Amino acid sequence: DIKRETLVLTEEGETYAAVGSPEIHLFMAIPPEGISREALEQRLDTSVFKIGCAQASKLKWVEYDKKKKIFSRQ
């Protein structure tokens, strides 16, 4: 007997597959010269901003300068 296993994406996974993950949306919203936190928050949905910040920072894709309050790509 051959056993088959089927993997299915969750609703969240389907969304990320279709439009991209929050961290890539955040990364792509940051221009090469950097962007203020306020301006970045305005460009993204609140949940995309929160999740994207956490994941992109963890992956070291972005850096936040607390003194200048600027996000930049890494």
Mind spelling out the 3-state secondary structure of the chain?
CCCCCCCCCCHHHHHHHHHCCHHHHHHHHCCCCCEEHHHHHHHCCHHHHHHHHHHHHHCCCEEEECCCCEEEEC
Q: 12-62, pLDDT tens digit by residue?
A: 999 999 999 999 999 999 999 999 999 999 999 999 999 999 999 999 999
Q: Which of 16, 12, 8, 21 is nearest to 54 (CA)?
A: 21
Looking at residue 69, its pLDDT comes to 93
Return the domain boundaries, the chain. Answer: 20-73
| pLDDT-derived band at 8, boundaries 50, 70, 90 | very high
